[in-house]
Amino acid sequence: PTPAPTPTAASGQNEERLLNMTALRERFAEDEIKMLFGIVEDSLGGELKKLREGLAQNDDKVVASVAHAFKGASMSIEATTLYELLYELEKAAKASDSASFAGLAEKIEVAFTETIEVIRRYK
């Protein structure tokens, strides 16, 4: 299989935070990574939708539960930035700190969009 493109030097560091391809390549072959990306892209979109619903309802338990599942899916593809933000959201939800939700949700939306863009370039 043809190796996935390597990020440019200027964007490489940010892309590596969004999606740690080095770690993924240590665990999977290129064709497995592409297959994983195909599966996870849909899964992450579904998790984001559930998260939006929980946030709209301001439901701490739903937000914590969805953030936890979303975090796990993010880690499976080494989406470091998304994982870290979801960890913070899960922690805030468990502490009933709904004041933190809006700021974290906005950052999660941005990280999600950027991560999906990187995934699509590698697929």
Residue 13: what pLDDT? 64
93-98 long-range contacts, CB within 8 A, separation 24+: 93/60, 93/61, 93/63, 93/64, 93/67, 94/60, 94/64, 96/60, 98/58, 98/60
pLDDT digits (tens, 9 = 90+) for 35-73: 999 888 888 999 999 999 999 999 999 999 999 999 999
Residue 14: what pLDDT? 81
User: Domain spanning 12-122 has what CATH number?
Assistant: 1.20.120.160
Q: Measure Cα distances from 63 to 25, 30, 72, 119 in Å.
A: 32, 34, 14, 25
pLDDT at 9 over 60: no
pLDDT digits (tens, 9 = 90+) for 80-90: 999 999 999 99
Residue 74: what pLDDT? 94
pLDDT at 10 over 70: no
